[in-house]
Structure 1
Amino acid sequence: MNRIQLGNAVFEGLNDVYVFGADADTTTLVDTGTAASETREALSTGLADLGVELADIDQILLTHWHEDHAGFASEIQDESDAVVRVHTADAPLVAGDTDAWEAMEGRQRALLDEWGVPEEPREELLGFLDGYDGLSGRARVESFEGGERFSTPEGDLEALHLPGHAAGLSGFVFEGADGRELLSGDALLPHYTPNVGGADVRVERPLAKYLDTLVRIIDGEFVRAWPGHRDVIEDPAGRARDIAAHHRERTENVLDVLREDGPADAWTVSSHLFGELSHIHILHGPGEAYAHLDHLSAHDVVESTDDGYRLVESDPDLDELFPDISE
């Protein structure tokens, strides 16, 4: 396996594309970066260093639908006739299905209302989102489910469904020289905690699903994880535990906001948590607050009222809300 890192000024920076079979008859890419001219140049250069051209790509496996992971897939497919594969839940978006995109955008608008996002930041967000419409294309996709295996000259890659950040987010498991390794996409990142709640508004119970994903990663006993951004993670289970602990702490922070200033909507809570928000974070900030409020609501700790979320139980046992993932 080889890794090519692509610059990314719009999202989380330094997208990773993984190449299998660079010196063989068939070549597989995992993720592609955005459909931007600088992406084409950087990816083409990185592949050329491996003796591969875009036209040589036979298979593209996508971790999820976000533009910085799937956006360039359609252009590569047009040049190479590569098979593009993505989880069933994300396939309509990667394929550019109009109904799927309109449904998601409608859900976004409804949630911006529900979260209490004021008009000015809402307009800033919508303008930002319109500005990167050109970062994705329409690929002809073949969908898969978790557990399916895909052949490469360096061994099979097994899809592992890891929802939360996105509905169809999937990692790919392979056997490395010293044990099982995971291409984790944005399910596990080395520096950031992947956004839940705003990054894919189609996900129901986003925090609960993501906590289940972290458990799945811990139980996988991977010796290392290769993320969708930045550098390799040498202790995936430890990183997953750190992220779960972060979410537990954030849940306590949300409770503090409601104790001091509640009832409150998701926008108000996010303002206390993150301060002033801009660009994509106008979606991600209240989305993350909402994910935590939703989790608390599902456990009857808060309830949603016309005035916002109200505390029902001021001192809940958080052990009941989070999985036991101690070593």
Structure 2
Amino acid sequence: MVMDKIQGGYSILTYETLGIPTPFPVGNINCYLIKNEPITLIDCGVYTPKALESLTDQLRNFGLELGDVKQILITHAHPDHCGLASVVKKYSNAKVYLHEKEINKAMDRAEHLKRIELHLAYYGLPEDLRHEMHNYFKWQLDFVQPLKKFEVIEDGHIFTFDGAELQVILTPGHAIGHLCYFEKSDRLLFSGDLMLGSLLEPISIEPYRRERGLVDYIESLKKLSSLNISLILPGHGKPMSDIEAHLKRIANNHQQRKKQILDIIKGEGKITPFRIASRLWPKLNMFLGISEVLGYIDLLIMEGKVQEDQTESRLIVFHVKPFDTLNENIV
């Protein structure tokens, strides 16, 4: 746990970092306790007894109970970020805030995952791996309680605290309704999963329509780069202060990944997202791998280097543009 005070001009924001355990490979999630009134959590952890106990114990370390929490600011509606929101609300009647584009997954994650499974079939995931993914998604459902009551917030909304303010910034990419929270006076950013230390882009497949996740992600980074941020507090991992160096690493990684994927497509003719992902990351969860590939494909499509098609069986395939060989086998 880390305690800090952000002081600049008339602004003093006091926060604690609460490391809440998750059952996922990513490890702990960083939830943030804002101790200025009204007492606030930025994200709240996954729905497990262990996570609830950890959250309760850490609040008590600062003389607080679950019932003292007045509001929960959700960065996005993934289980590790909002799984406990309904439970905390039950104890405290706290208001829960999220973006409208996250409502479907917050209210009915089962339907959300069911639609993603269908997309994975179109992206070429074989039946045996779809079965594994179905079981993985079903397992995930145990770690989130559906939200029934919440408040919708939009880009630019200001949360006012005793002596401080937080600005809501819509930053799609990792999730279509992903939000960051910015303390203007001292340029502190609570970044959720938008900016992590890993160079594997945190992009997710959205089930209701094909979103350009990595394109949106890059636009969100550009939006944030104009804020002259001094410190990023991410949803996972350590705080980051050298923002420009991190953005440069991301840009370099994009160029390398695009070249890798374009070379694979050139060598294969027509190829599915799954086949590309399995070539690049054979041991990675294919939901993450396919999400990543689609992001880079979108960049290559924008650059006019790759074209997307759909077969009679509704498989999504990609090929180099222009594509003159008409009788390639679909991989």
- Normalising by the smaller structure, the TM-score range is 0.7 to 0.9
Match of 1:123 among 112, 116, 131: 131
RMSD between superposed Cα atoms in Å: 2.0
Amino acid in the other structure paired with 1:223: S
Q: Is the 8 A contact 1:63 1:171 kept in 2?
A: yes
The runs of 5 or more residues in structure 2 that have no matched partner are: 1-14, 324-331
Q: Is the 8 A contact 2:158 2:168 kept in 1?
A: yes
Note if 1:167 corresponds to 2:171. Answer: no
Note if 1:180 corresponds to 2:184. Answer: no
Q: Is the 8 A contact 1:186 1:194 kept in 2?
A: no
Match of 1:149 among 131, 143, 158: 158
Task: Name the structure 1 match of 2:46.
Answer: 34
Task: Name the structure 1 match of 2:31.
Answer: 17
Match of 1:7 among 21, 28, 31: 21
Q: What CA distance in whole angstroms lies between the structure 1 residues aligned with 2:221 and 2:322?
A: 27
Does the residue aligned with 1:8 lie in a helix, a strand or coil?
coil
Change in Cα spacing, 1:192 to 1:8, as seen in structure 2 (3 Å) is: farther
1:1-327 correspondence to structure 2 within 5 Å: 1-21=15-35, 26-94=38-106, 96=107, 98=108, 102=111, 104-139=112-147, 140-175=149-184, 179-198=186-205, 200-202=206-208, 204-277=211-284, 281-305=285-309, 306=311, 308-312=317-321
Change in Cα spacing, 1:267 to 1:4, as seen in structure 2 (3 Å) is: same
After TM superposition, the score normalised by the length of structure 2 is 0.85
Q: What CA distance in whole angstroms lies between the structure 1 residues aligned with 2:322 and 2:192?
A: 36
After TM superposition, the score normalised by the length of structure 1 is 0.86
Change in Cα spacing, 1:192 to 1:292, as seen in structure 2 (3 Å) is: closer
1:154 to partner: Cα distance: 4.7
1:313 to partner: Cα distance: 5.6
Q: What CA distance in whole angstroms lies between the structure 2 residues aligned with 1:157 and 1:300?
A: 40
Amino acid in the other structure paired with 2:157: E
Does the residue aligned with 1:63 lie in a helix, a strand or coil?
coil
| Percent of paired sites with the same residue | 25
Change in Cα spacing, 1:236 to 1:101, as seen in structure 2 (3 Å) is: farther
Q: What CA distance in whole angstroms lies between the structure 1 residues aligned with 2:265 and 2:254?
A: 17
Q: What CA distance in whole angstroms lies between the structure 1 residues aligned with 2:261 and 2:37?
A: 53
CA offset digits 1:209-260 (Å, max 9, x no partner): 0110111121111001000012111122322332232122211110011122
Q: What CA distance in whole angstroms lies between the structure 1 residues aligned with 2:17 and 2:92?
A: 20
Q: How many residues align?
A: 302
Q: What CA distance in whole angstroms lies between the structure 2 residues aligned with 1:171 and 1:153?
A: 20
Q: What CA distance in whole angstroms lies between the structure 2 residues aligned with 1:294 and 1:30?
A: 31
The runs of 5 or more residues in structure 1 that have no matched partner are: 315-327
